[in-house]
Structure 1
Amino acid sequence: MLPSSTGFAPAFSSTLDRVGRDGALALAFEHRGGATVLTERRFTLPLQVLEPIPLEPGGSVCLMLLNPTGGVLGGDRLETEITLGPGAHVCLTTPSATRVYRALGAPAVQQTTIRLGAGAVVEYVPDHVIPHPGAAFHQSVTVEMGPGSRAIVSDALAVGRLARGERWVFRELVSRITVTSGGRPLFLDRISLDPSRRVPEGLGGMERVGYLASIALLADGFAGWEDVIPALEARLAEWPSIRGGVSPTARGGCLVRFLAPSAQDLTEATQGLWTVARQLLLGLPALDLRKR
């Protein structure tokens, strides 16, 4: 039986003035009887999760990470910790884009830590971040790899509410992905955007498009990168409107980074690249999350 999902132990509680601002989420998964099962779930609002959805083949599950308040406010502190036991396989996503609202003081902070047991697999593919005017947002994703584990980690952002003609009117946006193995760094990627200092619209920056995405692929003991990287490059070339590339990492893995002119292009390119990664890295077919 799962622990109660309606509250946290005292260690996760917040002071009264921070209720609804300090969100915490803790999840644990195990591989049992050929399937991944959720064995622990604890949360405090504004973080929440839906019930896991079993996926076939392979016995994996998909889980939606929720913020039912509709967005992230300046000063919010959100912390998520997810543990996958040996052989567990979880796909983590969000139901829609993360909206970040104006920060009058301290920035909003969102930290996600994912720990992988031996042979575990995580696919972390949230929708993109949309910073509103005056927004300040610091987010980080840390993945701790175990022996034989594999990770697909996506990170995407818009430069504002583009449908309203807003570009670069947020205060600050910092996004960081860190992957380690046995305490040793395998991969570190950091994006820091501060429009008050510099608007990177020119060549080598955003080049006047509205969306930026990164997809990191890491796999302990995987020897097939010479097939994965050309396949990702070929898939990128299928979209004339997409500008991007693929780079190998120093210790086994690769990073895809691309610019997209529209949310639809961003979604389609992410789905296509993720499909290639699933096929070649995990030996699994495409996964359509049907969020449209």
Structure 2
Amino acid sequence: MPPSQLHAGGGRIVLSQHNGDPVFAQLSSTYPLKLLSPRVHQKPVAVVYALTYGGGLVSGDQVHLSAEIDRGVILVFLTQGSTKVFKTRGEQRLASVQRLFPESSTAQTYTTPTIQKMDFRVSSNSVIVLLPDPVTCFRAASYSQIQTFHLTKEASAVVLDWMTSGRRSLGEEWVFSRYSSCSEIIVEGTTIAKDVILLEADEPGVDPFPRRTLAERMHPYSCYATVLLCGTAVRAAIEHIKNDYEKITVMKSSAPANFLWSFSLIRPDGDGAIVRVAGKDTETVKEWLKAALSCLEEVIGIDVYRRAFV
């Protein structure tokens, strides 16, 4: 599909193999999305960076990326810097409660969300490694993402989904309007993992009883991450994290820990796991992820792996 046939914000990746080398049969994108693939020397690995013009996504942007990964290749999908989601514009509802109840004087508005959808289809003996930088929502931003991974029985996937509290240097912590994320791994038509996150700021005046703000509910952590791992190609990484988790000693404490993480198997054969992480700062979470997933160096190569955690 040439760029002229893609909708605004559309992206298309088709990765195949020729004589042992990964080859892009298609790599197309349209504004505000931009896809770049640097040359790498690790066969059969290909790297794609997803960028946005202007350094972020603005209110109303809709990005829809589809990718097909043919047999026997590895796609490493990265970003350059955190995915910034800028402030949402408020607009008057065309059909609102006020039209039904004219006596209400409270003006209601709706926000134009930023939406990102990604759909990956991975063939046998192939791997998708999604290691983006975290999403950072600015004040009043509204962001929604859906990531779906369709795998054959012999395919593998690593999916990192993480977010920060906002621009802490400017005093913005958990002050966005809405954040939702859904990551789903489907193997041979059966969903084996589906992780959903929904965070919403309370609307003033809606609840007559005082409620904790989003910042109070998320305190004291400013960075949350989820990692989904599936397939034989990442079994070593699963075992490595599992062994570390079994060494953890739980001790009672009156104060919250600076860093928390959990591990759960999602497949009885041990070829699937979910890891959840929370930390008081992004750098701590980043360094932990880099160490925890270090076994991926054997899958994608040391140089490529280092690009994910610069």
TM-score (norm 2): 0.79
Check conservation: 2:88, 2:141, Cα contact below 8 A. yes
The structure with the largest helix share of the pair is 2
Q: Give the counterpart of 1:246 among 260, 263, 277.
A: 263
Check conservation: 1:47, 1:68, Cα contact below 8 A. yes
Distance apart, 1:55 and its partner CA = 4.0
In structure 1, what residue type is equivalent to 2:168?
L
Distance apart, 1:250 and its partner CA = 4.0
Aligned to 1:34: 20
Q: In structure 2, do the counterparts of structure 1 residues 175 and 183 end up closer, same or farther at CA, with 3 Å as the change threshold?
A: same
Q: In structure 2, do the counterparts of structure 1 residues 87 and 184 end up closer, same or farther at CA, with 3 Å as the change threshold?
A: same
Aligned to 1:210: 222
Distance apart, 1:144 and its partner CA = 0.3
Aligned to 2:187: 181
Take 1:226 and 1:29, find their aligned partners in 2: how far apart are those partners?
26
Aligned to 2:104: none
Higher relative contact order (CA 8 A, sep 6+): 2
Q: In structure 2, do the counterparts of structure 1 residues 164 and 123 end up closer, same or farther at CA, with 3 Å as the change threshold?
A: same
Aligned to 2:94: none
Deviation per CA, 1:71-126: give whole Å up to 9, x if none: 11111111001110011101100010011011122211000111101111010011
In structure 2, what residue type is equivalent to 1:274?
L
Distance apart, 1:276 and its partner CA = 3.2
Take 1:283 and 1:128, find their aligned partners in 2: how far apart are those partners?
21
Check conservation: 2:238, 2:273, Cα contact below 8 A. no
Distance apart, 1:274 and its partner CA = 2.0
Aligned to 1:8: 4
Deviation per CA, 1:117-155: give whole Å up to 9, x if none: 111101001100111010000011110001311100001
Q: In structure 2, do the counterparts of structure 1 residues 220 and 161 end up closer, same or farther at CA, with 3 Å as the change threshold?
A: same
Q: In structure 2, do the counterparts of structure 1 residues 235 and 121 end up closer, same or farther at CA, with 3 Å as the change threshold?
A: farther
Q: In structure 2, do the counterparts of structure 1 residues 83 and 52 end up closer, same or farther at CA, with 3 Å as the change threshold?
A: farther
Check conservation: 1:34, 1:59, Cα contact below 8 A. yes
Q: Give the counterpart of 1:255 among 237, 254, 274.
A: 274
Whether 1:163 and 2:175 are equivalent positions in the alignment is: no
In structure 1, what residue type is equivalent to 2:273?
C
Distance apart, 1:169 and its partner CA = 1.0
Q: In structure 2, do the counterparts of structure 1 residues 213 and 235 end up closer, same or farther at CA, with 3 Å as the change threshold?
A: farther
Aligned to 2:295: 276
Whether 1:50 and 2:36 are equivalent positions in the alignment is: yes
Take 2:133 and 2:237, find their aligned partners in 1: how far apart are those partners?
26
Q: Give the counterpart of 1:233 among 237, 245, 249.
A: 245
Aligned to 2:284: 265
Q: Give the gaps of 5 or more residues in structure 2.
A: 90-110, 204-211, 250-256
Take 2:67 and 2:247, find their aligned partners in 1: how far apart are those partners?
31
TM-score (norm 1): 0.83
Take 1:99 and 1:216, find their aligned partners in 2: how far apart are those partners?
23
Distance apart, 1:49 and its partner CA = 1.3
Take 1:170 and 1:102, find their aligned partners in 2: how far apart are those partners?
8
Check conservation: 1:103, 1:134, Cα contact below 8 A. yes
Whether 1:89 and 2:85 are equivalent positions in the alignment is: no
Take 2:34 and 2:198, find their aligned partners in 1: how far apart are those partners?
27
Distance apart, 1:188 and its partner CA = 0.3
Take 2:35 and 2:182, find their aligned partners in 1: how far apart are those partners?
23
How many residue pairs get matched? 271
Aligned to 1:152: 158
Check conservation: 2:173, 2:215, Cα contact below 8 A. no
Q: In structure 2, do the counterparts of structure 1 residues 223 and 165 end up closer, same or farther at CA, with 3 Å as the change threshold?
A: closer
Q: In structure 2, do the counterparts of structure 1 residues 53 and 160 end up closer, same or farther at CA, with 3 Å as the change threshold?
A: same
Q: Give the gaps of 5 or more residues in structure 1.
A: 14-21
In structure 2, what residue type is equivalent to 1:54?
V
In structure 1, what residue type is equivalent to 2:20?
G
| Superposition CA RMSD, Å | 2.7
Identity rate, percent: 19
